[in-house]
Structure 1
């Protein structure tokens, strides 16, 4: 398995972001991984180790956005916004000396890529959008609001895995018990002897307070900026956030857009399961 190393990179407002690099000496275009709303670099641990090893041998860089995982929490919660987090990505690229990268964006990470399409399109060589697109279904947003507010606090990693399975199992029949255990270790951290969800609670509070009475504005204009880029879209078979109608329309509007369905998964698919890692490796290496 490919080795990894951790760095903490200071962005312009003084916060330190946790960055995990796999296959640091590998060549080719680097691949930058951007996690979802409350997730962190561990979401990409298994995928990154596959793609950093033979036959792919890619340099993989995963970034925990501010307030997630080991990255600093922002003392001003109103700064947990997609444009600011997009700016953080550019700061990381600049400090790592990366002019252009391939990107994998899961959920909010994919929304960050839509913002970067407007501000730094030249930094994106190609991209994988994991269960995210220009249209977000209100049902899926409400689902996220619901489980962010109601998930009980676990007393052990085993209990955390059981809670995750009880909450999401119907949408993820492809997952086995060890997958739920791995997810629990990615989502929770032991602090002062207690398991704690590994993100700033202000992020969840901000999202729960969002008004979903009106549809979320679509991002078709931003998606159109990817016209000259190769795009892969992965949709969870049971996703409530990204509809098949939207992925069909993405493929219709973008001739270089490849759609892959993650069988037996919902929002957002685990990218190392069900042949997805191999599909991503082939796409990013083509």
Structure 2
């Protein structure tokens, strides 16, 4: 089910909601937040599994991505503006409390949401993101954002993705790359194109080896004992094993899973990862009935 709301500046924003098949009374909803250039379709398979277990799930599209309108000014594709959009969306969609699943940039938003509205967070899943972001991985991502990746058909789209991302996902077969392409691309009269505003590239244009990266450790430390599940792709170049270990050392209520044969960011398709998230969501719900 597609849902819409207006940002504080009037831009139309969109989300997809999956309703629970078997309702868990008083269970918090699950809020899914995607990566920088990604969209709500990244969570379709996970959301369907969560809905089967009794959770309402909403995946938001940031401005300029997926079902949300594009912004005429790329400078509004900022963490600060997106955070305000998320807050407006939570109010408009009636989400008072949620387990937040945040992939990459979405994980940063999850931590910031916990900082400014701690009562809204029942638990947090950070998918391949932490307080320290590896510079090499960020540079790799910066080099891919905004690339012309148009394709004439689905096999061509899948082949383009495979050429660019095979080192991150060495285990994907042909069907997996096709599925991946259908998450990232959208059909248009002129063919297939990536489902985000290409001007997003400007947000990372000034990134170089001397750029000082933000320190999210104070934000991470401030989320306190909020239940946390941290996921890391075994081939990730954005979240290091060292950072993950430090997250577990600092957080009193954290657990972790390394997703084999995947990099940045784990796709959340496999049974083990979905099972870990389902079990975590159920633990966050214990005592809520």
TM-score, length of structure 2 as denominator length: 0.92
How far the C-alpha of 1:119 sits from its partner, in A, is 1.7
Matched, 1:269 2:262: no
CA–CA distance in structure 2, aligned partners of residues 15 and 148 of structure 1: 23
Q: How does 1:103-142 map to 2 (within 5 A)?
A: 103-142=100-139
The counterpart of 1:200, out of the listed 197, 200, 210, is: 197
**Contact 1:158–1:181 (8 Å) recurs in 2:** yes
The count of residues paired between Structure 1 and Structure 2 equals 280
**Contact 2:149–2:193 (8 Å) recurs in 1:** no
Q: How does 1:181-260 map to 2 (within 5 A)?
A: 181-260=178-257
How far the C-alpha of 1:212 sits from its partner, in A, is 4.2
Question: What secondary structure does 1:204 align onto?
Answer: helix
Deviations 1:105-141 (A, max 9, x none): 0001011122223322221111000000000000000
CA–CA distance in structure 2, aligned partners of residues 112 and 11 of structure 1: 16
The counterpart of 2:91, out of the listed 75, 91, 94, is: 94
CA–CA distance in structure 1, aligned partners of residues 206 and 188 of structure 2: 27
How far the C-alpha of 1:225 sits from its partner, in A, is 1.6
Question: What secondary structure does 1:275 align onto?
Answer: helix
How far the C-alpha of 1:278 sits from its partner, in A, is 0.8
**Contact 1:86–1:113 (8 Å) recurs in 2:** no
CA–CA distance in structure 2, aligned partners of residues 119 and 130 of structure 1: 20
How far the C-alpha of 1:255 sits from its partner, in A, is 2.1
Map of 2:72 onto structure 1: 75
CA–CA distance in structure 1, aligned partners of residues 115 and 76 of structure 2: 19
CA–CA distance in structure 2, aligned partners of residues 284 and 131 of structure 1: 18
How far the C-alpha of 1:273 sits from its partner, in A, is 1.4
Deviations 1:13-47 (A, max 9, x none): 11111110001573411000000000011000111
**Contact 2:169–2:263 (8 Å) recurs in 1:** yes
Larger mean Cα displacement after TM superposition, 242-251 or 112-121: 112-121
How far the C-alpha of 1:183 sits from its partner, in A, is 1.3
**Contact 1:174–1:263 (8 Å) recurs in 2:** no
**Contact 1:230–1:256 (8 Å) recurs in 2:** yes
Alignment root-mean-square deviation, CA: 1.5
Alpha-carbon distance change, 24 to 278 in structure 1, aligned in 2, over 3 angstroms? closer
The counterpart of 1:282, out of the listed 268, 276, 279, is: 279
Larger mean Cα displacement after TM superposition, 94-103 or 262-271: 94-103
Map of 1:43 onto structure 2: 42
CA–CA distance in structure 2, aligned partners of residues 208 and 180 of structure 1: 28
